[in-house]
Structure 1
Amino acid sequence: MLNPVVSAGAFTELDKFMFESWGYFVIPNVLSKEEVKECLQASIRLHEAAGTVGWGQVGRGYESEHALENLMDHPSVLPKIRGLLGDRFIMQSGWNTMQPARGRMGGWHQDGSSAFDFKNLGYPVPLIQLRASFLLTDQEEPGMGNMELIPGSHRSLVPLPDSIRTANSGTPISHVICASAGSVLVFHNAVWHRAYEHNWDYDRYTMHYIYSPPWVKPSDRFHNDVNFMQRTTPVRRALMGDFSRPDAPFGASYTPPPFEDN
């Protein structure tokens, strides 16, 4: 099966072509086995504390779990985000999802805001939410709680037919992402996708980081935690939206995050 696999680190012209064509790509083996273990344990603690029953997602886990915080600006992934969004963006949200053992198929959808559908902004649907999904359990074959996407659907002039969506059935052109724990899937908000079924006897965990233009409101928090902001790094504070606005509220002259190469 074809897979849009890219190398970790620097954003290349081929990466850009692949993303524009497919709407997503996969970076394999970003995390070591020990890092995966630490992040998985952190994820389990989050969901146990939240009392998750069935499928669920927990936001702001990066505030209390250092292993998850470290993923926010991971050096294997951040260059890809900068390549696609430039240097002025925020981390809109960080969601940790759990699909329970023997979990069913999710529903087909595009990411966005129910308050104002992104497709109303123009064609093609603009890149407003760029998602980096860190796989924390193996998804090396279909039926392991994988992400299923429809390649190139972020460019489609027509929506996914209701007959497919309401019946929650498959399509002849869908692609089930198969990758090991520690890999990262990066994808465009307009790509049609869903959670694939999970046929194993353990829960599946994924840590999602969503990056957006600086004028987009955060979706996992109403405000930043003061203690977290005091102890985290300057880059992470900037990604959380802590930047000065010297002219208009979202003026172009605000200082971008203090990336090492700036």
Structure 2
Amino acid sequence: MLNPVVSAGAYTELDKFIFESWGYFIIHDVMSKDEIKQCLEASVRVHQAAGTPAFGQVGRGYETESALEGLMDHEAILPKIRGIYGDRFIVQSGWNTKQPARGVMGGWHQDGSGAYNFNQVSYPVPLLQLRASFLLTDQTKPGMGNMELIPGSHRSAAPLPGSIREKNGDTPISHVICAPAGSVLVFHNAVWHRTYEHNEDFDRYTMHYIYSPPWMKPSDRFENNSEFMQRTTPLRRALMGDYARPEAPFAGGYTVPPFDS
């Protein structure tokens, strides 16, 4: 099976070709077994605190769980984000998702804004949300709460047919992502995707970080938590949007985040 797997670290010319062609790529072995364990335990705590009954998505877990916070600027992923966006972007949100054991198929969608869908901005749909999904439970075969995507659909001028979306039907060109825990899926907001069914006896957890242009509003918070901002690193503060804006709206730019400090 075709699989857009790339290596961790620098964003290469081949990475760019794969991303522009498919709209996503996968990186294996990003997290150590200890990192996976710590992040999985943190995810369970986040959802227990939120009272998630079944399928659920909880934001801002990075504020209380240092293991999840550490994924925000993970050394295997951040060079890819910089390669795609350049050096000026923010963490628009951080969502931790849980799909319960024996969970059902999710619905087909593109990521965006319910207030003003991104496909209303231009064609092709612009990259406004770049998602890095850290797999915290095993998804090595279909039916483990995998992500299912349609390769190249971020470039399609035609929408996914309503007859498919309404019945949540299958397509002959969709791709179920099969990868072990500790892998990361990076994808463009305009790629059509859905959560695949989960037939196992354990809950599936994924930590998603969404990176956006600096002028986008955060989507998991109205403001940054002051205690978190005081204790986190200078780079993470910058990624959370803590920078001086010399002119509105960004006419004079702003200081590049301290990536190399």
What is aligned with 2:53?
53
What is aligned with 1:250?
250
CA distance in 1, matches of 2:252, 2:137: 40
2:142 is the alignment partner of 1:142: yes
CA distance in 1, matches of 2:178, 2:252: 40
Residues matched between the structures, number: 261
Report the 3-state secondary structure (helix = DSSP H, G, I; strand = E; otherwise coil) of the residue aligned with 2:5. coil
Report the 3-state secondary structure (helix = DSSP H, G, I; strand = E; otherwise coil) of the residue aligned with 1:82. helix
What is aligned with 2:241?
241
CA distance in 1, matches of 2:19, 2:110: 16
CA distance in 2, matches of 1:251, 1:2: 43
CA distance in 1, matches of 2:84, 2:193: 20
Deviation beyond 4 Å, 4+ runs, structure 1: none
2:195 is the alignment partner of 1:195: yes
What is aligned with 1:17?
17
Q: Given residue 46 of structure 1, which amino acid in structure 2 is its aligned partner?
A: V
Q: Is the 8 A contact 2:124 2:155 kept in 1?
A: yes
Q: Is the 8 A contact 2:246 2:252 kept in 1?
A: no
1:151-191 Cα shifts (integer Å, max 9, x gaps): 00000000000111011111000000000000000000000
CA drift at 1:122 = 0.5
What is aligned with 2:112?
112
CA distance in 2, matches of 1:250, 1:136: 37
Q: Is the 8 A contact 1:214 1:250 kept in 2?
A: no
1:72-100 Cα shifts (integer Å, max 9, x gaps): 00000000000011100000000000000
Q: Given residue 155 of structure 2, which amino acid in structure 1 is its aligned partner?
A: R
Q: Is the 8 A contact 2:141 2:179 kept in 1?
A: yes
1:106-145 Cα shifts (integer Å, max 9, x gaps): 0000000011110011110000000000000000000000
What is aligned with 2:38?
38
CA distance in 2, matches of 1:120, 1:152: 19
What is aligned with 2:83?
83
Report the 3-state secondary structure (helix = DSSP H, G, I; strand = E; otherwise coil) of the residue aligned with 1:96. strand
Q: TM-score, normalised by structure 2?
A: 0.99
CA distance in 1, matches of 2:63, 2:247: 30
Q: Is the 8 A contact 1:30 1:184 kept in 2?
A: yes
CA distance in 2, matches of 1:246, 1:137: 43
What is aligned with 1:227?
227
2:95 is the alignment partner of 1:92: no
The Cα RMSD (Å) is 0.8
What is aligned with 2:126?
126
CA distance in 2, matches of 1:163, 1:256: 46
CA distance in 2, matches of 1:104, 1:169: 13
Q: TM-score, normalised by structure 1?
A: 0.99
- Alignment identity in percent? 76
2:58 is the alignment partner of 1:64: no
What is aligned with 1:103?
103
CA drift at 1:252 = 4.4
CA drift at 1:217 = 0.3
Report the 3-state secondary structure (helix = DSSP H, G, I; strand = E; otherwise coil) of the residue aligned with 1:238. helix
CA drift at 1:246 = 1.2
**Gap change, CA 1:170 and 1:252, over 3 Å in 2:** farther
CA distance in 2, matches of 1:35, 1:17: 30
